[in-house]
Amino acid sequence: MFELDNKIALITGASRGIGRGIAETLAQAGTHVVCVSRNLEAVQSVANALKDQGLNASAAACNIVESESVAVLVQNIVKEFGQIDILVNNAGVTRDTLLMRMSESDWDTVLNTNLKGAFNTIKAVSRPMLKQRRGRIINISSVVGLTGNAGQANYSASKAGLIGLTKATARELASRGITVNCIAPGYIDTDMTAGLKAEVKTELIKQIPLGKIGNTNDIATMVQFLASDAAGYITGQTYAVDGGLTMS
Ligand SMILES: NC(=O)c1ccc[n+]([C@@H]2O[C@H](COP(=O)([O-])OP(=O)(O)OC[C@H]3O[C@@H](n4cnc5c(N)ncnc54)[C@H](OP(=O)(O)O)[C@@H]3O)[C@@H](O)[C@H]2O)c1
């Protein structure tokens, strides 16, 4: 179901966590996945593990904050494969602290990575996708982009910004067969949440109707659906994948 044969996907932040899970799932669905992060060794090892399973994958180092590097990355993909079908903006960072204590550099790092990084990649893929008259862009936001969270003013603003970016670009690109959607994960078991204290995790789980923290596969299967032909009539939307945490 939701096959993605002969597609080419660029996945940012694929060196670990949710991005790695997305790369595995899309590769298993038939896509050639280009795994990207700042750390070539780490993404190369993800791509090699996929190739060892007979799947199609490659790796590239790129800091998504640098627009020139992103433009070159996308040009190289189009040169090599002749197309780019799927962009998953997954790379993200946190610099959590209360607003009163938040430094300008904590603000800039988070906004530049989580929001400007997505602007850079969307801008770079939009020209080849417009030419192809098809494409799928999937942005990984967060439930805190919907609700806000104390201690995460920078992160919440960046993730709410991604939702606006999704809607604006969905409107701009829709007439050429390109869809842009957003996923807002709840608490997912990765390095990003590994630092949470046991008592904090227990309290969080109490607030989640499904009674557990999610895993990377929960997000990856939603990406696969949104990337597939089955989701061709969906654009500009944000889907919470959060165990029911933010249901209204
Ligand atoms: N885990 C959760 O509970 C949760 C919940 C809601 C939303 N999310 C979102 O889901 C996404 C993935 O989260 P995760 O938990 O898997 O995080 P993670 O384990 O910390 O991984 C983050 C990824 O982003 C990459 N990255 C960071 N800065 C980058 C940059 N400037 N250029 C290129 N790559 C960069 C990292 O690679 P390198 O360090 O190798 O560059 C890494 O692959 C993030 O956007 C996060 O905000 C996560």
Q: What is the pLDDT of residues 118-170, one digit of tens each?
A: 999 999 999 999 999 999 999 999 999 999 999 999 999 999 999 999 999 99
Dihedral of alpha carbons 61, 186, 111, 100, sign: negative
Answer yes or no: is the C-beta of 145 below 6 A from any ligand 1 atom. Answer: no
Q: Is residue 238 part of a domain?
A: no
Q: pLDDT tens-digit profile of 83-125?
A: 999 999 999 999 999 999 999 999 999 999 999 999 999 999 9
pLDDT number for residue 1 = 81
Q: Is the predicted pLDDT of residue 248 greater than 90, yes or no?
A: no
How far apart are alpha carbons 120 and 125 in whole angstroms? 9
Q: Whose CA is nearest to atom 41 of ligand 1?
A: 38
How far apart are alpha carbons 193 and 143 in whole angstroms? 14
Counted domains in the chain: 1
Written as one string, the DSSP assignment of 99-143 is: GGG--HHHHHHHHIIIIIHHHHHHHHHHHHHHHHT-EEEEEE--T
**CATH at 207:** 3.40.50.720
Query: What Å distances lie between residue 151 and 94, 127, 156, 217, CA to CA?
Result: 10, 38, 9, 27
Are 162 and 145 spatial neighbours (Cβ–Cβ below 8 Å)?
yes
Q: Is residue 136 part of a domain?
A: yes
Q: Is residue 199 part of a domain?
A: yes
Q: Is residue 245 part of a domain?
A: no
Q: Is residue 240 part of a domain?
A: no
pLDDT number for residue 161 = 99
Q: Is residue 48 part of a domain?
A: yes
The pTM for the full model equals 0.98
Burial (Cβ within 10 Å: 0-12, 13-18, ≥19) of residue 25: buried
How far apart are alpha carbons 51 and 14 in whole angstroms? 15
80 pLDDT band (50/70/90 cuts)? very high
Q: Is residue 91 part of a domain?
A: yes
Give the pairing of strands 178-185 and 238-241.
parallel
Residue range 3-13: average pLDDT? Answer: 97
Residue in 178, 147, 180, 162 with CA at minimum distance from that of residue 247: 147
* Structural domain boundaries enclosing 91: 8-233
How far apart are alpha carbons 141 and 211 in whole angstroms? 22
Q: Catalytic: 155?
A: yes
**Which of 192, 216, 238 most suits a substitution to test ligand 1, by most atoms within 8 Å of the C-beta?**
192
Q: Tell me how far the alpha carbon of residue 222 lies from the centroid of ligand 1, in angstroms.
A: 17
Answer yes or no: is the C-beta of 190 below 6 A from any ligand 1 atom. Answer: yes
Answer yes or no: is the C-beta of 38 below 6 A from any ligand 1 atom. Answer: yes
pLDDT number for residue 212 = 96
Which tokens in the block code for residue 206?
Answer: 């109490």
pLDDT number for residue 144 = 98
Residue range 21-28: average pLDDT? Answer: 98
217 pLDDT band (50/70/90 cuts)? very high
Q: Is residue 227 part of a domain?
A: yes
pLDDT number for residue 120 = 99
Averaged confidence pLDDT in the chain: 97
Q: Is the predicted pLDDT of residue 45 greater than 90, yes or no?
A: yes
Residue that is written with structure tokens 């590769």 in the block: 27
pLDDT number for residue 176 = 97
Answer yes or no: is the C-beta of 120 below 6 A from any ligand 1 atom. Answer: no
pLDDT number for residue 185 = 98
